[in-house]
Amino acid sequence: MPESQPDTPGCFGAFGGVYVAETLQPALEQLALAWQSIGRQQQFRDELAELLATYVGRPTPLYRAERLGEKYGCGIWLKREDLSHTGAHKINNTVGQILLAQRMGKKRIIAETGAGQHGVATATVCARVGIECVVYMGSRDIARQAPNVYRMRLLGAQVRAVDSGSRTLKDALNEALRDWVTNVDSTHYAIGSVAGPHPYPQMVRDFNAVVGKECRQQIQQVLGKMPDAVVACVGGGSNAIGIFHPFIPDRQVRLIGVEAGGQGIESGEHAAPLAGRAPAGILHGMRTYVMQDDHGQIMATASLAAGLDYPAVGPEHAWLRDQGRAEYVAATDSETLAAFDDLCRLEGIIPALESAHAIAHAKKLAGELGADGQIVINLSGRGDKDLQTVAEAAGIDIQS
Ligand SMILES: *Cc1c(COP(=O)(O)O)cnc(C)c1O
> pLDDT tens digit string along 297-306?
999 999 999 8
Q: What is the reported pLDDT for 145?
A: 85
Grade residue 8 by pLDDT with cuts at 50, 70 and 90. Answer: low
In this predicted structure, the answer to whether residue 3 has a pLDDT above a threshold of 50 is: no
Select from 193, 203, 320, 357 the residue to mutate for testing ligand 1; criterion: most ligand atoms less than 8 Å from CB: 193
Q: Active site includes 112?
A: yes
Distance 90 CA to ligand 1 centre (A): 7
Put residue 253 in one of left, alpha, beta given phi > 0 → left and psi -120 to 50 → alpha: beta
In this predicted structure, the answer to whether residue 24 has a pLDDT above a threshold of 70 is: yes
Instruction: Decide the pairing of beta strands 108-113 and 75-80.
Output: unpaired
> pLDDT tens digit string along 179-207?
999 999 999 999 999 999 999 999 999 99
Select from 137, 148, 308 the residue to mutate for testing ligand 1; criterion: most ligand atoms less than 8 Å from CB: 308
Q: State the chain's mean pLDDT as an integer.
A: 95
Distance 364 CA to ligand 1 centre (A): 21
- Cβ burial 370-386 (10 Å sphere, 16+ → b, else e): eeebbbbbbbbbbbebb
Distance 307 CA to ligand 1 centre (A): 5
Say yes or no: CB of residue 172 within 6 Å of ligand 1. no
Minimum CA distance residue for ligand 1 atom 3 = 307
Grade residue 9 by pLDDT with cuts at 50, 70 and 90. Answer: confident
In this predicted structure, the answer to whether residue 270 has a pLDDT above a threshold of 80 is: yes
Mean pLDDT of the region 63-71:
98
* Angstrom distance (rounded) from CA 398 to CA 400: 6
- Of all residues in the chain, the percent with pLDDT exceeding 90 is 92
In this predicted structure, the answer to whether residue 104 has a pLDDT above a threshold of 80 is: yes
Q: What is the reported pLDDT for 319?
A: 98
Say yes or no: CB of residue 114 within 6 Å of ligand 1. no
Q: What is the reported pLDDT for 348?
A: 98
Enumerate the β-bridge partners of residue 329.
258
- Cβ burial 161-177 (10 Å sphere, 16+ → b, else e): bbeeeebbbbbbbbbbb
Q: What is the reported pLDDT for 1?
A: 37
In this predicted structure, the answer to whether residue 248 has a pLDDT above a threshold of 90 is: yes
pTM of this structure: 0.96
Grade residue 4 by pLDDT with cuts at 50, 70 and 90. Answer: very low
Say yes or no: CB of residue 94 within 6 Å of ligand 1. no
Q: Active site includes 29?
A: no
Q: Active site includes 90?
A: yes
Distance 69 CA to ligand 1 centre (A): 24
In this predicted structure, the answer to whether residue 10 has a pLDDT above a threshold of 80 is: yes
The continuous run of DSSP H or E covering 209 comes out as helix 200-223
In this predicted structure, the answer to whether residue 7 has a pLDDT above a threshold of 60 is: no
Output DSSP code: residue 265: G
- Which spans in 53-89 are helix H? 66-72
Per annotation, catalytic residue among 112, 214, 335, 354: 112
Per annotation, catalytic residue among 79, 90, 363, 385: 90
Which ligand 1 atom is the nearest neighbour of the CA of 208? 9
* Angstrom distance (rounded) from CA 220 to CA 296: 45
> pLDDT tens digit string along 153-183?
999 999 999 999 889 888 999 999 999 999 9
- Of all residues in the chain, the percent with pLDDT exceeding 70 is 98
Instruction: Decide the pairing of beta strands 158-162 and 286-289.
Output: unpaired
Minimum CA distance residue for ligand 1 atom 2 = 307
